[in-house]
Amino acid sequence: MDLLAPSARALGELWEADRCDFVDVTVGLWRLHEVMRECGLNSGVEIDIPGKNHSALFSPMPGEQHNFGTLMVEEVFANAGWQTEVLLEPQRHELIHLLAERPFDLVGLTVSCNCPSAILTDLITAIRSVSKNSKVRVLIGGPRINAEPSLALGVGADGTAEDARSALALAERLVAGSQPVISSVP
């Protein structure tokens, strides 16, 4: 699992440098998805921890089509015993509607593209105002946020982490009632 994110990143860099075409990238991502599923299925981890019934919704920013990072984060949380759900290509209204219907403890958004901070702020404000859980926590991550981690608190998120495992550790603290933090990575 530790190699999947760097592999996807390298594939993206090859695409941006025009060293891979659409077919190469599509096949590469398809294979990375397969490896991720195999890792998840073969992990054999069954966690039965009292009080560990946290729920999380993961989604790329509405309108984005890059969802590999979202799937990786969801896989890590699911393997840790969280009840998870993932939206792969949501529209804003779909995301907001689901949050109004179900009391998720955490919402994780991945931001891959250059998105104006006002749009992020507006979405996070909407998430908090409609959420069926008045204590919902919001984490944001992805390439855009990793490039500027301070943006997370500036747009109203509870924090960010540079990878899925760090996000899990941060989410555990946030849902347990700790204060917002930019990152669990020094």
- One digit per residue, the tens of pLDDT, for the chain of length 186 reads 566 666 666 767 776 788 877 677 666 666 665 666 666 544 544 444 433 689 999 999 998 877 788 888 898 899 889 999 999 888 999 999 999 999 999 999 999 878 788 999 999 999 999 999 999 999 999 888 888 888 898 999 999 998 888 999 999 999 987 455 444 443
Return the closest-CA partner of residue 110 out of 73, 75, 151: 73
The segment(s) of the chain belonging to CATH 3.40.50.280 are 49-175
What pLDDT is attached to residue 40?
A: 57
Coil vs helix vs strand at 13 = helix
Question: CATH assignment of 49-175?
Answer: 3.40.50.280
Inter-CA distances, 126 with 25, 129, 137, Å: 34, 5, 13
List the 83-86 sheet strands across, edge first. 83-86, 55-60, 106-110, 137-141
Q: What is the pLDDT of residues 40-94, one digit of tens each?
A: 544 544 444 433 689 999 999 998 877 788 888 898 899 889 999 999 888 999 9
